[in-house]
């Protein structure tokens, strides 16, 4: 005889909220105004994902150039970028452009051929860069830069970082040790208007270039997470500190502060000012009580307003820091005046309260639920969420509380 088992959460397993900060929503209570990707059956289950102009497979990053578009998305699992000339206003709007594949119906690493200036292998982070675009082409161990924003199919990149040319794809240039010009699994990229930042994740470090790089393979000017450009040990080869990293990913400069999502250490590292020396320790960590503790959800099963579980995405909206708390399948936000070690988030989207977690709230996907959101990007009150586990990108507006 077949039996079924129903598992229910128990409030007794949750830690009481320290401080009792009430949650306000990060994003509009009405849910996203458009969802792209993730065609679903009538039962709400995800259909098999095949490459089409309107499909996405594990998207990990998105970049909105303006309130009306264009929008570019890293369609990570299909090894391509998809572009929309105008910001979609309806669900399932097909893309206008593709980069990385011969057409919308193909997939495969580097289009199943040799690498070049318009091929991709696990593209992840994507950001506006000057007048153009920068993409962390993670498994090609490089960052591609377009001087102007692409507005067509398979526009080739103008610059490559991490490699000497567009045909080379070896980690750290084929050498055992990194250098100021090499990359190993870069997953995050950010342009702050004066500097280019790259999360060189496999080398457990963040690199910075002053200004836009002008030549292929240009060496970085600054390294954080390591004491020098030739080291790559996890947490600097010792216990976690304010200067070490394990799995850096998202990066943003927020009101003069540098913020790095150190996903492997379950924390956001914050520097009160832009660092000027290699290996500068951060001043604040969010998600942990101090610089040395790094367990997910602060060693507890259930999260809280002050804990994180593999946060991959980070961006800013005025006085708010937005965080994609990926493994807790939720979005959090901190106010600038609360930016101190161990501070509680004030805002939440994706879960009913700060103590809840679970992919899609332990249910089938809903319009306003999340499953492993990897990326969050804000521009002028619009927020683009890369809801990777649901194979979709959600277009949302900030809540009134955050927008005011």
Query: All domains of the chain, ordered by start, with CATH?
Result: 22-403 (2.120.10.30)
Answer whether 320's CB lies under 8 Å from 264's CB.
no
Nearest Cα residue to 286 out of 269, 298, 304, 310 = 269
Mean pLDDT score of the chain = 93
- Cα separation, 72 vs 214, in Å, equals 23
pLDDT tens profile 269-312 = 999 999 999 999 999 999 999 999 999 999 999 999 999 999 99
Residue 62 and residue 56 in contact, taking contact as beta carbons nearer than 8 Å:
no
**Tokens found for residue 120:** 């991709």
333-372 pLDDT, tens digit each? 999 999 999 999 999 999 999 999 999 999 999 999 999 9
| Residue 181 CA: distances (Å) to CA of 131, 175, 260, 374 | 23, 12, 20, 26
Q: Is the pLDDT of residue 20 over 60?
A: no
Q: 103-131 pLDDT, tens per residue?
A: 999 999 999 999 999 999 999 999 999 99
Residue with tokens 């002053």, as numbered in its chain: 210
Residue with tokens 């084929």: 174
pLDDT band at residue 38 using 50, 70 and 90 as cut-offs: confident
The stretch 230-257 carries a mean pLDDT of: 98
Is pLDDT at 44 greater than 80 in this prediction? no
| Residue 275 CB contacts under 8 Å (≥ 6 apart), including other chains | 222, 224, 258
Is the CB of residue 268 less than 8 Å from the CB of residue 259? yes
Query: 301 — phi, psi (to 5°)?
Result: -70, -45
In this structure, are strands 97-99 and 80-84 parallel, antiparallel, or unpaired? antiparallel
Residue 92 pLDDT class (50, 70, 90 cuts): very high
């Amino acid at each position: 005889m077949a039996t079924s088992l129903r598992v229910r959460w128990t409030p007794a397993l949750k830690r009481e909220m320290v401080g009792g900060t009430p949650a306000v929503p990060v994003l509009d209570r009405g849910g996203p105004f458009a969802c792209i990707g993730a065609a679903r059956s009538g039962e709400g289950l995800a259909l098999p994902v095949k490459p089409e102009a309107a499909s996405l497979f594990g998207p990990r990053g998105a970049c909105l150039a303006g309130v009306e578009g264009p929008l570019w998305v890293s369609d990570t699992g299909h090894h391509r970028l998809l572009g929309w000339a105008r910001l979609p206003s309806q669900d399932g709007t097909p893309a206008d452009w593709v980069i990385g594949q011969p057409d919308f119906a193909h997939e495969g690493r580097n289009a199943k051929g040799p690498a070049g200036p318009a091929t991709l292998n696990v593209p992840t982070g994507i950001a506006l860069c000057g007048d153009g675009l920068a993409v962390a082409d993670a498994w090609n161990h490089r960052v591609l830069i377009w001087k102007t924003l692409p507005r067509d199919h398979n526009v080739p990149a103008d610059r490559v970082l991490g490699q000497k040319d567009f045909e080379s794809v070896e980690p750290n240039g084929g050498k055992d040790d990194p250098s100021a010009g090499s990359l190993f699994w870069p997953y995050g990229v950010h342009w702050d208007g004066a500097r280019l930042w790259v999360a060189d994740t496999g080398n457990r470090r963040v690199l910075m270039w002053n200004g836009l790089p002008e030549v292929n393979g240009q060496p970085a000017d600054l390294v954080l997470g390591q004491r020098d450009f030739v080291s790559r040990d996890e947490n600097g080869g010792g216990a976690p500190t304010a200067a070490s990293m394990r799995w850096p990913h998202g990066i943003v400069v927020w009101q003069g502060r540098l913020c790095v999502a150190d996903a492997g250490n379950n924390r956001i590292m914050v520097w009160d000012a832009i660092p000027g020396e290699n290996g500068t320790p951060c001043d604040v960590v969010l998600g942990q009580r101090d610089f040395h503790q790094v367990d997910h959800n602060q060693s507890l099963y259930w999260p809280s307003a002050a804990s994180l579980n593999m946060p991959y995405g980070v961006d800013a909206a005025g006085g708010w820091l937005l965080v994609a708390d990926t493994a807790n399948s939720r979005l959090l936000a901190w106010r600038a005046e609360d930016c101190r070690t161990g501070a509680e988030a004030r805002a939440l989207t994706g879960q009913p309260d700060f103590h809840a977690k679970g992919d899609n709230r332990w249910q089938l996907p809903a319009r306003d639920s999340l499953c492993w959101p990897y990326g969050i990007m804000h521009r002028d009150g619009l927020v683009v969420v890369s809801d990777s586990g649901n194979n979709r990108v959600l277009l949302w507006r900030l809540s009134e509380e955050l927008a005011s």
